[in-house]
Structure 1
Amino acid sequence: MGTELTGVFWFNVGAFAFGLILAITSFNYYKKLGRTRTGVYWAIGCIASCLLVMNGVIKFVDMMDEHMKKEAFALLEETYEDRGDPNNESFKNLELVVNPEKIKRFTAYDIYAANFNKQYTYKGKVEITIKNKKGKKVFTHVTEAITIKPGEKKVIKNVNYDTWHPGYSWKWLGELKK
């Protein structure tokens, strides 16, 4: 969360700096025309507009990320209903979804995991194999060590790759403990 706030801070600093440049330019223009009050209004408007537009873009991106997260968590629920074992504590109650998101020059593979066990915590890593349309292995990624408590759903750090591929499989490399 700290890096997100730092990014938002620097985007706002950039928007403020751009707004300040526009404000100074417009103020000087109206001052030369002898309309200083209008120049002040334009200067304030420039700064406010730049900050509003930048924060609107940031809010839109955050809303899209939250929407993708909700969809992924709903898909985790669906796959658990299909494959899970609610009567036993086991690896069958661990689910994972990989959502490829095409960005201009690369693809971000967003990883979501859930532990539907009631008592057991998962500690370990996940090996994710990305596959092409023919089902052939393109690359394998092993996540950092993670801990997923009973009933917890979480976003795992994404993986970036140069091309988009639709298929994947995964393997849990850890243990369930009480």
Structure 2
Amino acid sequence: MEMWLIIFTNILAFILALIFGIGYYKKKKKEKVSQIRAELWGTAVFIGVMVFFNGIILYVNYSDEQRVKAAYTEMEKNNEERGNEEESFANLELSLKTDKNKGPDTHYIYVANFNKKVSFHGKVYIKTIINNKIVDGEYTTKKITIKPGEKKQIDHFDGTSFYDSYSWEWKGELN
């Protein structure tokens, strides 16, 4: 998650916590509850709101990290299974992962270049497939460069939420 979003949500949480905390403090004070007890209630509400918002941020960050880790692990495993010593397109891997936090139809594209000397320059054409034969969605990435040994997220797209598999084709050059 980007730093500005974390800062924004914490500022929002702080403002809401102040509003609810002070409001609850004033409510308790009107009910003729002791000053200390009213302050404790206001502080408890403040802490509760801050914990709630930061818990959401932590959950989203954890989910993002797990998605990235799963994509990289999948690409490494696929490369080990295919293992190609030559510098070629066979050493380029792709993983498509769905973001469950944004909805079942947001898909992130991760790529890796397991070549030792050559970079890839070009685009990737991706198809999502249902029942191993029906092409459900198609997406072409913008121009990318993947250096030797590099792994990264290159793009994301919205597509259908349920697909059985996906395929990709590298359109570009190695040099």
TM-score between the two structures when normalised by the length of structure 2: 0.88
Paired residues for 1:67-106 under 5 Å? 67-86=66-85, 88-101=86-99, 106=104
Moved over 6 A (4+): none
Paired residues for 1:132-147 under 5 Å? 132-147=130-145
Aligned to 1:9: 7
Cα deviations across residues 128-165 of structure 1 (Å, max 9, x unaligned)? 11111242111210112222111111112221124321
Task: Give secondary structure in 1 for the equivalent of 2:111.
Answer: strand
For the 8 Å contact 1:28–1:39, the answer to whether it is kept is yes
Cα drift, residue 34 of structure 1? 4.9
Tell me the distance in 2 between the aligned counterparts of 1:99 and 1:143: 15
| Letter matched to residue 36 of structure 2 | R
| Letter matched to residue 21 of structure 2 | A
Aligned to 2:54: 55
Tell which deviates more after alignment, 98-107 or 149-158: 98-107
Over 3 Å counting, the alpha-carbon distance change for 1:61 and 1:90 in structure 2 is same
Task: Give secondary structure in 1 for the equivalent of 2:108.
Answer: strand
Tell which deviates more after alignment, 27-36 or 91-100: 27-36
Tell which deviates more after alignment, 50-59 or 38-47: 38-47
Q: 1:24 aligns with which of 22, 40, 45?
A: 22
Task: Give secondary structure in 2 for the equivalent of 1:38.
Answer: helix
Tell me the distance in 2 between the aligned counterparts of 1:81 and 1:91: 14
Task: Give secondary structure in 2 for the equivalent of 1:114.
Answer: strand
Cα drift, residue 10 of structure 1? 2.5
Count of paired positions: 174
For the 8 Å contact 1:132–1:166, the answer to whether it is kept is yes
Q: CA RMSD in A?
A: 2.0
Unaligned runs of 5+ in 2: none
**2:171 equivalent to 1:173:** yes
For the 8 Å contact 2:98–2:104, the answer to whether it is kept is no
For the 8 Å contact 1:106–1:160, the answer to whether it is kept is no
Unaligned runs of 5+ in 1: none
Aligned to 1:119: 117
Between the two proteins, what is the percent identity of the paired residues?
35
Tell me the distance in 2 between the aligned counterparts of 1:164 and 1:102: 12
For the 8 Å contact 1:105–1:162, the answer to whether it is kept is no
| Letter matched to residue 60 of structure 1 | Y
For the 8 Å contact 2:132–2:164, the answer to whether it is kept is no
